[in-house]
Each structure stands twice: as C-alpha cells, then as structure tokens.
Amino acid sequence: MVFWLKVKLINMERKDWAYILLLFSVTGFFAYFFFTTVAWSQIKVVDADTIILNGEKIRLYGIDAPETEQNCYVNKEAWPCGKQATEYLKKLLEEAPIPSLLCEISSHDRYGRSIGVCYIGDKNINRDLVENGWALAYREYSRDYIQNEKLASKRKIGIWQGDFVEPWKWRRGVRTKETKKIGCQIKGNISSNGEKIYHLPNSKNYLKTKISSSKGERWFCSEKEAQALGWRKPKINN
C-alpha cells in the first residue's frame, strides 16, 4: 500500500500537484477561520479590568479601571466613563489584527479570580489600558504601570480629561471629587455618640474629618441644606 502511494505521487502531473496545493490552502483557511472564530466566541469582557476567557474569569494584574456603572465629570457634566472604558477594551479585542489572546496567570485573588497580564501579539493589554487613560496603576498591588499613568494624565486622555474618583475608593462609596467640583464642600459628619455635625472648609478640623457614606455621612452644598436635614454647626468652631 505504501509502495503504491509512492508510485502514484511520483507519477502525478504538475496540474495534480497544483490541485493538491489549492486544496490544502482552502482547507487551511477554513480551519483558521473556524478555530479563531471559536476562540473569540469564548472571550467575554466583564468590565475594563476583567475578562472571561474559556470560562475562566481573569482580573488584569496591576491596574484598576472605573466600574461599569461609575460616572466621571467633565465641565460639571457627568459622563459614563465606566461604560466607555469597558467599550474601549471590547473594541481593542475586536479590532486586533491577529485574533489571539494570551494571558499569563500569576496568582488568584480571594474571589477565586485568576490574576494575570494579557497580551494580543506583543501588546500588553494591561499597559495599554493605563497608557490610554482607561485604567489607573493599582499601586496597592503593583508599581508596574505608574509611568504609563503619568503619561495618560499629562495627555489628559480617557478618564483624565475631567474629574473622577479612584475606582478603589468608588467601590467603598466615596463620591467626593465630583461634589467638590460643583461647590458641595461642607462635610456632614456623624460623631461617635450619634450627633450630626457639619464642618465648613475653614473649620479647624475640616481636613482631618473623613466622610463615610456607609455610616450615613454626606456632603452638603450649603449650611441651609445641612440644617434642614438635621445637621448642626459645632458648638465651638473647631
């Protein structure tokens, strides 16, 4: 059988070889199309720093992007920077010249997510998101992308075109930068014994007074507003 096959191949004409080469080329193209399409169908963007690849949730290492529902502010106007950051990552993946995604997993977090750096070809996706202003360097866990963040800040692109709350603070309920921008600078603090006291910017302890929305504390735009909602001035202007 092997001998017969060798004889047949030797005796084939040039046009027969051309047909075989064409067949392999067409077959290879469809195989490439099929496998790359399947690979892309298994990639899901959760938000701008989290993806699901083949069923595995991967948190991009060393960066923190705005939450999908988070807003930023430009000229006092809110804009959905979290959604736009997510869309940026989706577009980055969809428009990649080579439909291949490689993620190097380094560890796992307490939520069971894989932590890693992902690449399209030789492009570091983590770095790209920070450098284009759609994520911040997550200094608590890494200092890899600080210079890329500084570059984005200098260029005023992505979330750097206006005001925003850092994502790690936003997840804890902080919504301060946008309120300060529009003039709401009065701190509504609740003391250890439950008293509601507001502090003006010129108060002695204003800077060291922290606002925790989870405790019911908040910002006010005027003394009248604070008083109407049950807050009072300090008995002594501290």
pTM, 2 dp: 0.60
Q: Pseudo-torsion of CA 224, 226, 230, 234, nearest 10°?
A: -100
Q: Place 3 in a pLDDT band, splitting at 50, 70 and 90.
A: very low
Inform me whether the pLDDT recorded for 202 exceeds 60: yes
150 band by pLDDT with thresholds 50, 70 and 90: very high
Residue ranges matching CATH 2.40.50.90 in the chain: 44-164
| 44-164: CATH architecture | Beta Barrel (2.40)
Please tell me whether residue 117 adopts helix, strand or coil conformation.
Answer: strand
- Higher-pLDDT residue of 108 and 11 is 108
Q: How many beta carbons lie within 10 A of that of residue 123, not counting itself?
A: 14
